[in-house]
Amino acid sequence: MIFNSLTFIVFFAIVLALHNAPFPWRVKKINLLVASYLFYAAWNPPFVILLWVSTVVDWWAAQWMVRSERQATRRAWMLISVVVNLGLLGFFKYGHFLLDNFVAVAASLGIAYQPPGWDIVLPVGISFYTFATLSYTLDVYLRRAKPAKRFLDYALFVTFFPHLVAGPIMRPTELVPQFEQPRRATSTQLGFGLALLTLGLFQKVVLADGFLAPVAEAVYDSHGKAPAMLDAWAGTLAFAGQIFCDFAGYSTSAIGVALCLGFAMPDNFRFPYAAVGFSDFWRRWHITLSCWLRDYLYIPLGGNRHGPARTYMALMGTMLLGGLWHGASWTFVAWGGLHGVYLSAERGLKARFSGWVPGPAALAGLAALTFLLINVTWVFFRAKTFGAAGVMLRAMSGTAAAGVPLVAALPMAIALGIVAAIVATHWVMRSTTIEAVVERTPVPLIAGVWAAMAFAVIIEQGQGSAFIYFAF
């Protein structure tokens, strides 16, 4: 089930009605749990079993870690949780990838190995809920959090449908306490939640799917045709806008849906295309993943506590694994590795010019350079092969032979105009929040913008395509 579907609208109306009905709090939580399983089962019912396995294993692992005083026993239960969760993730998401690479290595050694047919279906959102459940047992093991008091609360944390399949990646300490006492949205929360849902759907349905995706697809899915320089840039910039509107649209919708039910979830995007530097970008882009990687990979790998060499190794290791988390392909690893190079270079330059404070012009220039280099990384994220990425980069740099026009003038102009508007909006909003802007904006203007977005979502004709990050 996807947010941008009539099925979800009906589903959410029923969930909202039941949540506001005069039932005991435990009954309402059971309703939310059942609804969350139905939401996930709409894709592929058997994969609900994987949710049950992760939920039960991690619940009991945390319980036994708390009951034991022996460090060896605690470590054993923690490792059971890690092995089960990463084992499921590795099998379903990386099974084909590992097998294909094994066959390639064997072939390079002169061994002709033909593996049997292996049809693995990727469970939607497995990367997201795996990281969420892992944070629970790891935090309990590290004594940074206590286990949930009730199994129902923990099971609802794992499966809570707004964040289940594409984040934000929640921590138990952020959500489980909200399940302990009755919660119901105020009229203000309900209104703001519906407005956020509308904004998220507008970003996804109208901007990402309606205007940006066709341009990106025309360039990147051109079946071997080398694009002209302008088309290459237009396709890449369109994809930069598409992936932001698609993913931020999902996160905004999820936060809005949760708020309509009375629950708060953290921001996942803070105007990332206004970032000045790459550490700033990752403080603004997919914030919950960035925090997860920092706490459970970067710091355990040494962080910045053991000298520059160890810090750079930790940065590269974290970003390479972060790239692999996004997809089972070496192009995603390259995407993450390129971000690791950017972060390492930025860290070295900051140390070299530690006393320099950029003025407004320099700040704008650095932001433009950051956005330019971010678009270079998007080439590896969007291209299906290194060969395709190379063709695109050569076209963008103007070093390739003359390519062919792939995008009509009007769609290109509209897409570039939307991307320019996104970047300009991010720059204006980089130091504020949507909530702050809403507070000082006249109500009639807010109502007009809201109505316009809702109207655009309703009239947009589309296929109800899934969000990009469902594949991760």
Q: Which residues are catalytic?
A: 326
- Are the C-beta atoms of residues 4 and 200 closer than 8 Å to each other? no
227 phi/psi in degrees, rounded to 5 = -80, 155
Report the alpha-carbon distance of residue 168 to residue 263 in Å, rounded: 13
Report the alpha-carbon distance of residue 369 to residue 360 in Å, rounded: 14
Report the alpha-carbon distance of residue 207 to residue 252 in Å, rounded: 14
Report the alpha-carbon distance of residue 48 to residue 51 in Å, rounded: 5
Report the alpha-carbon distance of residue 256 to residue 380 in Å, rounded: 31
**Any residues with CB less than 8 A from the CB of 360 and at least 6 apart, and which?**
none
Which residue shows structure tokens 């009954």? 27
Check residue 224 and give left, alpha or beta (phi > 0: left; psi -120 to 50: alpha). Answer: left
**Any residues with CB less than 8 A from the CB of 411 and at least 6 apart, and which?**
211, 214, 215, 218
DSSP per-residue letters across 213-262: HHHHHHHHTSTTPPBPHHHHHHHHHHHHHHHHHHHHHHHHHHHHHHHHTT
- Are the C-beta atoms of residues 209 and 3 closer than 8 Å to each other? no
Which residue shows structure tokens 């066959």? 103
- Are the C-beta atoms of residues 171 and 158 closer than 8 Å to each other? no
Report the alpha-carbon distance of residue 289 to residue 283 in Å, rounded: 10
User: Which value, in Å, is the radius of gyration of the alpha carbons in the chain?
Assistant: 23
Amino acid in position 254:
A
Question: Which residues are bridge partners to 404 per DSSP?
Answer: 227
- Are the C-beta atoms of residues 281 and 298 closer than 8 Å to each other? no
Q: Hey, what long-range contacts does 269-274 have (CB within 8 A, 24 or more apart)? A: 269/244, 270/433, 271/425, 271/426, 271/427, 271/429, 271/430, 272/244, 272/426, 273/240, 273/244, 273/371, 273/374, 273/422, 273/423, 273/426, 273/427, 274/367, 274/423, 274/426, 274/427, 274/429, 274/430
